[in-house]
Structure formats: structure tokens, C-alpha cells
């Protein structure tokens, strides 16, 4: 409803202004020289195709050509010139959906501001006796010209208020003041060059206009470089430092946190999400670095993605795609969307937004896109390191943790007094060599894989099940009272479980040795004791049983 209200206000106001322009034009169709008019328009059209941008405002310098038309021919031709140049400026982005939405919401406002900038100062100028015509000398107009300047500056200030009323534009006051001062500077230059152009035309004709146009073009180029302010360059330097920091991080969680913390220090971010796609999986991170649920914005952007753009900016809420507006819980004007940045193993994209208009500059958007490339490369490096680490800690046959993983796990636990008492199980499958000899090693491998999966299901979620080597499995448990009961549970479940395919089914038993420690002990010593318990207490007593080391006599071991 709010957007409809703004649209109705804007286009109703535009209709009144446009109707007045059409009527006035109809009344004075033959009152001015069309050749010079179209020549001025051609020069102006070249200018508006490459505007100067500060935040979300585009400074086209086309008012110089409007002022020139006014001082040559009067208000009506100047109003027509302004509308033609505005349409030319808007048409440059008609090929993009954002450009068409921008036209729908901003063209009426620009029309009104254009009319105000010309009509009010122009009427004051004419009221005070200011002269117009091809032979006019502006420096001779005295008070009329000064009044034109003064009223023009007031109208420029009022235009910011009008933009808030018509389209709900939000600009923080300090930023608005900076933009207004820059607007005054641009208009002052346009008025100065208008006076120079008129004098040059009177002296040298069309050549004089062309020369003035070239001089203003050079000045515009120098101003364009000057708009890359020290503040912007500082932010770019901060992004470069953040890239270096990201590339040194070895944890995905810390990497995402550092990305968001660093980005918030550089640009305005009130809401944002980061999406990381790997193969068929996708993960979303919020601004705190925590994994978040799926973000509707991401799916909307995916459906309406423009593959030709690496990123795109929204300077005002009216430029947003309509489906994105549905998801907004609060009105955010500015947004920056980075399309997926791809590496070998992942694709990273993000969206940030804030309530202020024009918060994100083109130069910073380019750098943030590059920042996401660094993030993507860092994630790829972390993924590769994790893959290699996982392979070094994983048994390739059963996909269970291996002996190295067991040593790492127990080292961490044995240094923690809260882990005691700690029991270690050593499970050895009985007569496994006979299984390999009878059914083949491929069948034996399937038995090992299935046994490992069975053990994993039988223990607690936090317990570690490892393949220690051959047909031996080891898993520690931090509960002495449940140690024998757990071992017996594993033995019975293994004995009752049929192994193999439909054609060949066998039952496998196991001898299980258990050792429990109450204080720090070397893992090799613990495993040696569990191994003795398994052989002496279980295998020497007929196999298919559980034995604890404390119940095994020293004499029997010897």
C-alpha cells in the first residue's frame, strides 16, 4: 500500500506538470529555432549517458543545456529540453529490470524537480526584468541573475524534502548536507558554463558551443575522479586488509565470523546473509556467523538472476524486485547483492541491506565482490585441508576412525580429569581368517564394514568406534559400571546379526577385552592390558565372551 501511495502521488504530480508543458508547447510551436534546439539536445544527450554518481544520486550536468535553452528561448522550450534529456538518461538502463523499476518510481520525481529548478528561478528572473534571446548577455542582467541563482539554490534544498514526500526517500542528515553542497557546486559550474557557452555562441556560433562542451567534459572527468574520496579509498584499503586476514584463517566458523565483523566495520549493514553452496548442499549464515535456516531472498534472486551481472545495487526500495519486498520485515532502502562467486568446490553469494538510501557505492561493490572471491578460495582451501585430515584419520575400508584418530581422541580425554574412569574395549572377531579363506576377502571386507556399522549403532552418539587394524575394533567409554554391560550387549548383538548377502549368510562372534583406568595412563599400556584381557579372559576360555583385565590373573597371563 505504501508503494502505491508513493506511485499515485508521483505520477499525479507528473501528469499535471506534463499537461502544462504540452499545452504551453502547443501554444508556441513555431516560436524558436529548432536547429539550434536539437543541436543543444545532442550535446546534452552525450553528457547524460555518463553521469557522475554520489551515493544514489546521478549528476548528469544536463541542467546547463536546459539553462542555455531558457536564456535563448524561454521557459517552454527549456522545459521540453529538460524532459527530453531526462528520458534519454532513463532510457540508458531500460534493458535491465532494475532500470525499468527505477524509471517507474523516479521519473515523475525527476520531472517535478526538473520543472521546479527551472520554473521557479526562471519566473523570478523574468519578473525582475531579466532578458532572454540569442543575443542576451547574462552578466548585464544584474539583480535578475543573482535572484535566479539564489532561488535555484533554495529549490535544490527543497528537492530533498520533495523526494521524501513523493517516494519515501531516506537520507541521513549529515549525508544529505554533503550531497546538497555537491549539488550546489555542480549547479554553480553549470551556470558558469552556461554564461560562457552563450557568449561563445554569439562570437563563434556552433564552434563556440562545441568548445564549451569539450571544456565542461574535461571538468566533469576531473570531478569524476575527485568523487573517489579519501573515505572511499580508506574503505577499499580496509577490504584489502580483510582479504589478507581471511586467507590466513583455517576454520570455516572463524572465517565466516571474521568476514561479517570486517564487513560491518567497512560499510553500513543492518541485515545480511551469506550462502555457501557445495555440490547439492547449501548453507546460510547470518550476520553473527551462525548457520541460519534457508533465506527466501536467496531463492527469489536465484529465480530472477541475471547471469551477465556479477553484482547489482539497489539504491532505493522502489528498485527492489517485487518478490523481495514481500520478505522484508522492515523497510530497507539500499541493498547490495553479490551473485554466486565460484571456485572448484563451492559457490558463495551474499546480500546486505540498510535503511539509508544509496549506502553502497559502485567502487565498494566491486571490491566486496572480490572479497567474496577470497572467501570462496579460503573455503576451498579449508575444505581441502579438512578432506586430507579426514582421510588421514579414517579407515578407507569401513569409513570408521582409524588408530591415529583413536590416539588423538584419547589424548584429549586423558588430559581431562572429568573423563575418568575411562574404559577401553578391544573387540576381535573370532575365526575371521577362516571367513576370508572360505568366502573370499571381498566377503570378509563386507563383514568388517557391516560390523563397524553395527558397533556404531550400539554405542552412544558421543562414543568413538575405531578400526584398530585387521579384524580388531577399539572404542573407549567413560563409564566403568556400564563397561561390562556394554561389552555384553555388543557381543550378543554381534552374535545375533546375520552377515553377508541373501545367497550367503553367516554368524560372527567376537572376543572382547576391557580395561578401565582411573587416572592418566599411556594409551599403549591400556591397549596392551585390554589385549591381554581379550586373549586370556575371552579367547583362551572358548571365545565369544567379554573379559575385564582386572579379572584376569597374572599367573594365567604368564
Higher pLDDT, 62 or 261: 261
pLDDT at 4: 55
pLDDT at 384: 87
Query: Which residue, among 44, 301, 25, 356, has the nearest Cα to 174 in the 3D structure?
Result: 356
Query: Which residue, among 180, 84, 78, has the nearest Cα to 119 in the 3D structure?
Result: 78
- pLDDT bracket for residue 80 (50, 70, 90): confident
Q: What integer is the mean pLDDT of 146-153?
A: 89
Q: What integer is the mean pLDDT of 525-551?
A: 91
- What the block records as the C-alpha cell of 204 is 563563434
Query: Would the pLDDT of 256 be above 80?
Result: yes
Query: Which residue, among 184, 80, 87, 201, has the nearest Cα to 133 in the 3D structure?
Result: 201
In the chain, what's the furthest Cα-to-Cα distance? Answer: 126
Q: What integer is the mean pLDDT of 161-176?
A: 62
Helix (H) or strand (E) holding 551: none
Nearest-angstrom CA–CA distance, 303 and 295: 13
Query: Would the pLDDT of 213 be above 60?
Result: yes
pLDDT at 448: 93
Catalytic residues: 471
Q: What is the pLDDT of residues 448-468, one digit of tens each?
A: 999 999 999 888 777 889 999
CB-based burial of residue 144 (10 Å sphere; 0-12 exposed, 13-18 middle, 19+ buried)?
A: middle
Q: What integer is the mean pLDDT of 76-87?
A: 84
Helix, coil or strand: residue 291: strand
Q: Kindly report the number of other CB atoms within 10 A of residue 423's CB atom.
A: 24
The C-alpha torsion from 267 through 272 and 277 to 281, rounded to 10°, is 160
Nearest-angstrom CA–CA distance, 514 and 424: 6
Helix, coil or strand: residue 49: coil
Query: Which residue, among 125, 130, 122, 135, has the nearest Cα to 198 in the 3D structure?
Result: 135
Nearest-angstrom CA–CA distance, 452 and 72: 92
Q: What is the pLDDT of residues 471-500, one digit of tens each?
A: 888 888 766 667 778 888 889 999 999 998
Cα dihedral across residues 297, 303, 309, 313: positive or negative: negative
Query: Would the pLDDT of 557 be above 50?
Result: no
Of all residues in the chain, what percent are helix, strand and coil, respectively (each to 5)? 60, 15, 25
Map out the domains of the chain as residue ranges: 2-225, 232-391, 403-557
Q: What is the pLDDT of residues 499-537, one digit of tens each?
A: 987 678 899 999 999 998 888 888 899 999 999 999 999
Percent of the chain residues past pLDDT 70, beyond the cut: 78
Q: Are 403 and 466 in contact (CB under 8 A)?
A: yes
- pLDDT bracket for residue 401 (50, 70, 90): very high
Higher pLDDT, 43 or 23: 43
**CA of 294: how far to CAs of 270, 291, 322, 337, 507, in Å?**
19, 9, 19, 17, 46
- What the block records as the C-alpha cell of 203 is 562570437
Please list, in sequence order, all residues whose beta carbon lies within 8 angstroms of the beta carbon of residue 58, skipping any fewer than 6 positions away.
51, 52, 89
pLDDT at 8: 62
Instruction: Compute CA 276 distance to the chain's CA centroid, rounded to the nearest angstrom.
Output: 10
Report the 3 state secondary structure along 499-539: EECCCCEEECCEEEEEEEECCCCCHHHHHHHHHHHHHHHHH
- Among 152-166, 250-264, 406-420, 472-486, the minimum mean pLDDT is found in 152-166
Is the preceding peptide bond at 421 cis, omega within 30 degrees of 0? yes
Helix, coil or strand: residue 211: helix
Q: Are 256 and 289 in contact (CB under 8 A)?
A: yes
Nearest-angstrom CA–CA distance, 280 and 69: 61
pLDDT at 322: 67
Helix, coil or strand: residue 241: helix
Higher pLDDT, 427 or 333: 427
- Among 301-305, 347-351, 359-363, the minimum mean pLDDT is found in 301-305
Q: What is the pLDDT of residues 329-357, one digit of tens each?
A: 667 778 888 888 888 889 999 988 887 77
pLDDT at 348: 92
- State the average pLDDT for the chain: 81
Query: Which residue, among 247, 237, 272, 238, has the nearest Cα to 343 in the 3D structure?
Result: 247
pLDDT at 532: 92
pLDDT at 105: 66
pLDDT at 450: 93
Domain 232-391 has CATH 3.30.420.40: no
Q: Are 290 and 261 in contact (CB under 8 A)?
A: no
CATH topology of domain 403-557: Alpha-Beta Plaits (3.30.70)
Q: What integer is the mean pLDDT of 80-90?
A: 82
- What the block records as the C-alpha cell of 149 is 541563482
- pLDDT bracket for residue 10 (50, 70, 90): low
pLDDT at 170: 60
With vertex at residue 395, the alpha carbon angle to CA 390 and CA 401, rounded to the nearest 5 degrees, is 65
In this prediction the pTM is 0.58
Amino acid at each position: 500500500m505504501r508503494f502505491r501511495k508513493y506511485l499515485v502521488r508521483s505520477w499525479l504530480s507528473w501528469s499535471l506538470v506534463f499537461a502544462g508543458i504540452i499545452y504551453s508547447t502547443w501554444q508556441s510551436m513555431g516560436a524558436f529555432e529548432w536547429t539550434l534546439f536539437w543541436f543543444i539536445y545532442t550535446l546534452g544527450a552525450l553528457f547524460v549517458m555518463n553521469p557522475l554518481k554520489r551515493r544514489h544520486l546521478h549528476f548528469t550536468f544536463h541542467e546547463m543545456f536546459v539553462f542555455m535553452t531558457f536564456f535563448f528561448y524561454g521557459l517552454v522550450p527549456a522545459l521540453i529540453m529538460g524532459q527530453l534529456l531526462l528520458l534519454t538518461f532513463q532510457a540508458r538502463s531500460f534493458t535491465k529490470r532494475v532500470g525499468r523499476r527505477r524509471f517507474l518510481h523516479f521519473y515523475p520525481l525527476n520531472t517535478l524537480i526538473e520543472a521546479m529548478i527551472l520554473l521557479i528561478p526562471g519566473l523570478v528572473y523574468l519578473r525582475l526584468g531579466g532578458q532572454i534571446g540569442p543575443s542576451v548577455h547574462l552578466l548585464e542582467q544584474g539583480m535578475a541573475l543573482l535572484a535566479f541563482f539564489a532561488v535555484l539554490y533554495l529549490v535544490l534544498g527543497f528537492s530533498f524534502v520533495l523526494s521524501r514526500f513523493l517516494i519515501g526517500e531516506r537520507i541521513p542528515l549529515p549525508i544529505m548536507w554533503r550531497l546538497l553542497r555537491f549539488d550546489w557546486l555542480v549547479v554553480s559550474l553549470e551556470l558558469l558554463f552556461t554564461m560562457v557557452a552563450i557568449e561563445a555562441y554569439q562570437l563563434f556560433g556552433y564552434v563556440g558551443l562545441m568548445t564549451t562542451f569539450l571544456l565542461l567534459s574535461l571538468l566533469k572527468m576531473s570531478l569524476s575522479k575527485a568523487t573517489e574520496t579519501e573515505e572511499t579509498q580508506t574503505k577499499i584499503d580496509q577490504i584489502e586488509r580483510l582479504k589478507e586476514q581471511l586467507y590466513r584463517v583455517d576454520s570455516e566458523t572463524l572465517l565466516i565470523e571474521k568476514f561479517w565483523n570486517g564487513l560491518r566495520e567497512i560499510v553500513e549493514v543492518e541485515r545480511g546473509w551469506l550462502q555457501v553452496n557445495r555440490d547439492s548442499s547449501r548453507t546460510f549464515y547470518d550476520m553473527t556467523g551462525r548457520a541460519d535456516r534457508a533465506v527466501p531472498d536467496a531463492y527469489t534472486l536465484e529465480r530472477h538472476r541475471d547471469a551477465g551481472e556479477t553484482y547489482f545495487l539497489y539504491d532505493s526500495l522502489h528498485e527492489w524486485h517485487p518478490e523481495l519486498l514481500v520478505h522484508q520485515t522492515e523497510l530497507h532502502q539500499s541493498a547490495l547483492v553479490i551473485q554466486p562467486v565460484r571456485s572448484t568446490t563451492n559457490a558463495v553469494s551474499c546480500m546486505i541491506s540498510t535503511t539509508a538510501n544509496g549506502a553502497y557505492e559502485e567502487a565498494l561493490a566491486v571490491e566486496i565482490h572480490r572479497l567474496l572471491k577470497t572467501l570462496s578460495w579460503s573455503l576451498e582451501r579449508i575444505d581441502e585441508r579438512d578432506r586430507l585430515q579426514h582421510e588421514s584419520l579414517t579407515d578407507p575400508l569401513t569409513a570408521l576412525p582409524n588408530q591415529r584418530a583413536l590416539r588423538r581422541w584419547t589424548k584429549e580425554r586423558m588430559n581431562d580429569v572429568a573423563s575418568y574412569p575411562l574404559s577401553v574395549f578391544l573387540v576381535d572377531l573370532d575365526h575371521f581368517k577362516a571367513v576370508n579363506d572360505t568366502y573370499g576377502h571381498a566377503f570378509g571386507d563386507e563383514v568388517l564394514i557391516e560390523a563397524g556399522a553395527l558397533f556404531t549403532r550400539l554405542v552412544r552418539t558421543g562414543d568413538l568406534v575405531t578400526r584398530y587394524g585387521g579384524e580388531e575394533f577399539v572404542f573407549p567409554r567413560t563409564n566403568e559400571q556400564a563397561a561390562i554391560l556394554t561389552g555384553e550387549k555388543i557381543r550378543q548383538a554381534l552374535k545375533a546379526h546375520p552377515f553377508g548377502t541373501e545367497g550367503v549368510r553367516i554368524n560372527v562372534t567376537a572376543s572382547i577385552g576391557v580395561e578401565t583406568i582411573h587416572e592418566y595412563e599411556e594409551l599403549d599400556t591400556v591397549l596392551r592390558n585390554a589385549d591381554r584381557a581379550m586373549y586370556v579372559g575371552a579367547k583362551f576360555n572358548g571365545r565369544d565372551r567379554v573379559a575385564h583385565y582386572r579379572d584376569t590373573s597374572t599367573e594365567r597371563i604368564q
